[in-house]
Amino acid sequence: MKRILNYINGAFAAPIKGSYLKLYNPALGLVYAEAPDSDEADMQLAIDAAQKAFPAWSNLTTDKRHEYLSAIAQKITDNLEDLALAESIDNGKPLALAKAVDIPRASSNFKFFANAITQFSSEAHEMKGTAINYTLRKPLGVVGCISPWNLPLYLFTWKIAPALAAGNTVVAKPSEVTPMTAFLLAEICIEVGLPKGVLNIVHGLGEKTGAVLSAHPQIKAISFTGSTKVGGAIASIAAPLFKKLSLEMGGKNPNIIFADCDYEKMIETTLKSSFANQGQICLCGSRILIEKSIYEKFKNDFVERTKALKVGNPLSEDTQVGAVVSKPHFDKIKQYIDLAQKEGGNLLCGGKAVKPQGHEEGWFIEPTVIEGLSMDCRTNQEEIFGPVVTLIPFETDAEALALANESNYGLSATIWTQNLNRAHQMADEIEAGIVWVNTWLMRDLRTPFGGMKNSGVGREGGLEALRFFTEPKNICIDYTKHKLNS
């Protein structure tokens, strides 16, 4: 059984107390590895190492930091097959998805910010004949990065890369459920010779490790992705200490389908936006709003295609839906499906556990489609984070907009229409940080990423991330004209 270790001060380290957590293969329901059950003492070692490394790292030229980050990006690409396999085994997602999306995106995150930092400019403002003001962007110091289990390496690198590029040193805490690729990233950092203490990765339970980052006086900022509940707990501790916070939390995203859409493109994409990664993506469109004139056609076609999705062994190339990440999460999704029926929902398909041959003990759930629920019920208001979607008909643009905004979340939305005026107006009035029109999950790394309401605080991505991980300092130079000596 494989044992992974913490990465502190440029080397692997066992947890001080020698305690370990079990790691499960979701497709088999079996323990396959173990990870450190770290605590405050381990975190303090990491924070001390990061603090010691900060002066030298922050004073490196941007070109040199670019070289380190570029080397890591290339190593991720070189190890795509191994990293994708590890991600699939650790998380339960289809291997094909990890190869096509998760690992390439992890490499892109490092590559993008390696280049972005060389173009990150400051501002100057002239007070004609009197003074000039210029602004420096200074790294914060030691920052904490806490990432979730659904896109383990993808989101882990999304936080670490800009923090390092901006000149900070990092103490990172991956999810204790899916830590394997974070461990493999540490191996890559050693291979490329990343200076000691610049990046430290500590594994363990959130209440014993992540909570330390929230309260520790030497942690200057926290970037967190995860549940709204945990994000709120972090904010309650960190905000009174005046730490910078970026909190990317849940979503209950509307997918709004008008009758004038490109129907084939819409339904093919909607299938992906509903069930990709077993619905375990914060951007999945779990509330599908359909114009009434095409509701029955869409329902019949969508249910037929949903039933045809291949659920099974994540390592099989033809698998489209893998295992959900853990037994507790499996139980949570099943409870929501039962709740939906108690609330009056009609189960159109799915809802049952699946036991693929050779994986009978794994945690698989059929893709599930439900109709007949009011928008204010728990099923339509709470984030299920699984392969479950609801169908809701609407008649007018105004009704669609009202239904879309009837949520405590505001992360993303998708609109399907060929009407340009409608697309612009709906996109402007929807309460969401990201709106896709006639597409889904088309990401440009230069753009800001984040949500409104209970979906979060702050923005990641592009220059927004570099601004978050730096502090602006204005410097004013008085050059008032005086009489020159002749």
Tell me the three-class secondary structure of 431-486, residue by residue.
Answer: CCCEEEECCCCCCCCCCCECCEECCEECCECHHHHHHHCEEEEEEEEECCCCCCCC
pLDDT over 80 (residue 291) = yes
pLDDT confidence tier of residue 485, bands split at 50, 70 and 90: low
Q: Does residue 122 register a pLDDT over 90?
A: no
Residues 6+ away with beta carbon under 8 Å from 226: 146, 147, 148, 249
- Position 337 scores a pLDDT of 98
pLDDT more than 90, % of the chain: 97
Q: What is the pLDDT of residue 481?
A: 72
What pLDDT does 400 receive? Answer: 98
Tell me the average pLDDT across 274-299: 98
Q: Which of 180-184, 305-309, 391-395, 477-481 has the lowest mean pLDDT?
A: 477-481
Mean predicted lDDT score pLDDT of the chain? 97
Residue 143 has pLDDT above 90, yes or no: yes
pLDDT of 482 over the 80 cut: no
Handedness of CA 54, 56, 58, 62 (dihedral sign): negative
Does the pLDDT value for residue 8 go beyond 80?
yes
- Which pLDDT does position 484 carry in this prediction? 60
Average pLDDT for 344-369: 97
User: Which residues, 6 or more positions from 431, have their beta carbon under 8 angstroms from its beta carbon?
Assistant: 404, 405, 410, 452, 453
In the set 176, 248, 460, 464, the catalytic residue is: 248
In the block, which residue shows the tokens 């879309």? 404
Report all structural domains of the chain as residue ranges with CATH numbers, in order of start.
2-249+455-474 (3.40.605.10), 254-437 (3.40.309.10)
Q: Is the pLDDT of residue 131 over 70?
A: yes
Residue 241: Cβ within 10 Å count: 12
- Is residue 282 annotated as a catalytic residue, yes or no? yes
Answer whether residue 390 shows pLDDT above 80: yes
Q: Give Cα separations from 56 to 61, 142, 174, 195, 326 (angstroms).
A: 10, 13, 25, 9, 41
Across 61-78, average pLDDT: 98
pLDDT band at 298 (very low <50, low <70, confident <90, very high): very high
pLDDT at 179: 98
State residue 1's pLDDT score: 83
**pLDDT above 70 for 90:** yes
pLDDT per position as a tens digit, 172-217: 999 999 999 999 999 999 999 999 999 999 999 999 999 999 999 9
416-442 confidence digits (pLDDT tens): 999 999 999 999 999 999 999 999 999
In degrees and rounded to multiples of 5, residue 25 shows phi and psi of -85, 110
The reported pLDDT for the residue numbered 483 is: 58
Half-sphere exposure (Cβ direction) of 284: Cα atoms closer than 13 Å: 22
Contact 224, 193 (CB under 8 A): no
What is the model's pTM?
A: 0.96
Selecting among 282, 371, 460, 464, the annotated active-site residue is 282
